[in-house]
Amino acid sequence: MKSLSRHIPLVLLLGTLSAAVPAHADDFKAGFVNTDRIFREANTAKAAQAKLEQEFSRREKDLVDQGNALKAATEKFERDAPTMAESQRTARQRQLVDQDRDFQRKRREFQEDLSSRKNEELSQVLERANRVVKQVAETEKYDVILQEAVYINPKYDITDKVIKALNASSTGNGAATK
């Protein structure tokens, strides 16, 4: 229901625009931008992804290594448990539980940090993209540009123009740098 209520103002706006300009319908110019494609294809988005991979690759490798070590230690314990003394088995189980808890905590922190940084980077990409969309809209005299739609006729899709302009602006002003 929240999603539906979010789109009601857009529907009302479009209804109002179409009712307010019936005599000048030929003058009304609308466009659509596919934000998902911008996140996949724009150089600034690719640079952000590469930056995140570089920033988090070491932690991810450490987590994979720790997970593999924990798995190996658990398998060894399962093999050795029948021949261990009860006190040894209990102590080793406790140690494995502590290691697993530490591993799960580190993995959760990693996911939270990665998610937070990804949101920061994507918001910067979106901010740049929105500036470019506004420039394209002003230059080409669009009345409205939508970023979400259930259906859009491909002739109104200006995503390629926006990606090209975004890529051109990112190479000229250092936007893809740290």
Highest mean pLDDT among 3-7, 102-106, 174-178: 102-106
Question: How does pLDDT run across 83-139, given as a tens digit for each residue?
Answer: 999 999 999 999 999 999 999 999 999 999 999 999 999 999 999 999 999 999 999
Question: How does pLDDT run across 21-77, given as a tens digit for each residue?
Answer: 454 556 889 999 999 999 999 999 999 999 999 999 999 999 999 999 999 999 999
Exposed / middle / buried, residue 59 (Cβ in 10 Å: 0-12, 13-18, 19+): middle
Give domain limits for the chain: 30-169
Per-residue confidence band for 169, with pLDDT thresholds at 50, 70 and 90: confident
Residues 30-169: name the CATH superfamily.
Skp domain (3.30.910.20)
Per-residue confidence band for 170, with pLDDT thresholds at 50, 70 and 90: low
Cα–Cα distance for residue pair 96/151, rounded to 1 Å: 53
C-alpha distances out from residue 135 to 10, 12, 47, 130, Å: 22, 25, 22, 9
Mean pLDDT of 139-145: 93
Q: Is the pLDDT of residue 14 over 70?
A: no
